[in-house]
A = this chain, B = another copy of it.
Amino acid sequence: MKVEHDRSGTLRGFASDNNSGISPEVLNKIKKLNPGHVVGYGDDEYTEKAVEILKDNFGSGSFPYLVFTGTGANVLGIAAALKPFHSVICAETSHIYVDECGAVERFTGCKLVPVETPDGKLVPEMLKKYMVGFNFEHHSQPRIISISQASEMGTVYTIDEIKDLADFAHSYGLLLHMDGARLSNAAVTLKRSFKEITSDAGVDILSFGGTKNGLMAAESVIFFEEALTGEFKYIRKQAMQLSSKMRFIAAQFIAFFENELWKRNAQNANLMAQKLYAAVKVIPEIKVTQKVEANGVFAIVPKPAIPLLQKVFFFYPWNADTGEVRWMTSFDTCEEDIAEFTERTKEILSGL
């Protein structure tokens, strides 16, 4: 099946995969499950079905909970395993460190420890220096290593890389958390099932995202340790992430897995990123800075061109000093977008 593209909207852009709308299949599913009364707050058959589907995809030892936002999924999953004197070690580019306005710190009271990386990916070697202070009451106690898959730099951990991190974490008694806001994109890249790249690889807690891949507002926290789940329902409620009309978050996930919508959407986004990459890497003024492994392209662009380019295809600068920018493709990016953007870019660059 092919993804339908509707370019009739107000604006096209590469700002973020959440600037696109909702996959039509998802809206149809919401409409279909709308009639009648069901018990609120997730005690309904649709939510039960969505949870079953997630368990089918992530393994029988997975415990999924539905929430509204990616920040919510990250914070709540982490909070379930933390006491306030714990710390979380993460890449300094990670969403939890730089893009959530300190939500983890506020909600958990914990310390986040940022680690510098070249490509958004942690490796055990970088983490050894932080494995100190255990049992010493003056130090926040390391408890979670958090990685993003795909990373915020558009790179993807291999399964072996994840396993190495999981082994490393577990050898110190830590847990491995994965921010999977773009897990679908990584799964497509790795050509492996969700289960293989998460629970089978040693991940303990997962934020599994839908919103950036065609859902309206639907994310989930999936635990791969039953011990972490016992009190999660209270955390979700207290954190304001429990939907009263839960069936409609459930509907989105049900649609996500029908006919592998998640895969079709992510395949399109990844493919468009490759096409964008192919188009810009041959432009002499542009220097691509990261491997293109998911649905993001990072590149250094002549600074005067940036505001001009943003006017035609909106996107965000990544590093104002160096002129690095980020272009994200999404489930509804289409070849016309790439072509038009490339053409305009060339025009603008030649006119500088």
A residues with a Cβ closer than 8 A to B are 6-13, 15-16, 18-22, 24, 27, 30-31, 33-41, 45, 68-72, 75-76, 83-87, 98-103, 105-107, 109-114, 132-133, 137-141, 211-212, 216-217, 231, 233-245, 247-248, 314, 320, 332
**For the complex, what is the distance from the CA of A138 to the CA of B109, rounded to whole Å?**
18
- Chain B residues positioned under 8 Å from A34 (CB to CB): 21-22, 24, 27
Given the known interface contacts A100-B138, A101-B137, A137-B236, the answer about A36 and B9 at a Cβ–Cβ threshold of 8 Å is yes
Q: Which residue of B lies closest to A74 (CB)?
A: B240
13 contacts between A and B (CB under 8 A): A7-B36, A12-B36, A12-B37, A69-B240, A71-B237, A71-B240, A83-B231, A84-B238, A85-B235, A105-B109, A106-B110, A216-B245, A240-B241
- Chain B residues positioned under 8 Å from A85 (CB to CB): 101-102, 106, 231, 234-235, 237-238
Given the known interface contacts A10-B38, A19-B39, A37-B19, the answer about A239 and B237 at a Cβ–Cβ threshold of 8 Å is no
**For the complex, what is the distance from the CA of A106 to the CA of B86, rounded to whole Å?**
10
**Does the CB pair A234–B30 fall under 8 Å?**
no
Q: What is the oligomeric copy number? A: 4
- Chain B residues positioned under 8 Å from A15 (CB to CB): 37, 39-40
**For the complex, what is the distance from the CA of A237 to the CA of B103, rounded to whole Å?**
8
CB distance from A175 to the nearest CB of B (A): 16
**Does the CB pair A20–B37 fall under 8 Å?**
yes
- Chain B residues positioned under 8 Å from A236 (CB to CB): 137
CB distance from A234 to the nearest CB of B (A): 4
Contact of A102 among B6, B110, B243 (CB under 8 A): B110
**Does the CB pair B35–A6 fall under 8 Å?**
yes
Contact of A109 among B87, B106, B242, B247 (CB under 8 A): B106
**For the complex, what is the distance from the CA of A15 to the CA of B105, rounded to whole Å?**
32
**Does the CB pair B30–A16 fall under 8 Å?**
no
- Chain B residues positioned under 8 Å from A101 (CB to CB): 85, 137-140, 234, 237-238
- Chain B residues positioned under 8 Å from A98 (CB to CB): 133, 138-139
**For the complex, what is the distance from the CA of A109 to the CA of B24, rounded to whole Å?**
40
Instruction: Name which of A101, A106, A242 has the most chain B CB atoms within 10 A of its CB.
Output: A101
CB distance from A334 to the nearest CB of B (A): 11
**Does the CB pair B109–A102 fall under 8 Å?**
yes
**Does the CB pair B69–A84 fall under 8 Å?**
no
**Does the CB pair B68–A243 fall under 8 Å?**
yes
Contact of A10 among B45, B217, B244, B320 (CB under 8 A): B45
Q: Which residue of B lies closest to A12 (CB)?
A: B37
What would 5 more interface pairs be, CB under 8 Å, given A8-B35, A84-B106, A107-B109? A7-B36, A12-B37, A68-B217, A72-B240, A217-B244
**Does the CB pair B36–A244 fall under 8 Å?**
no
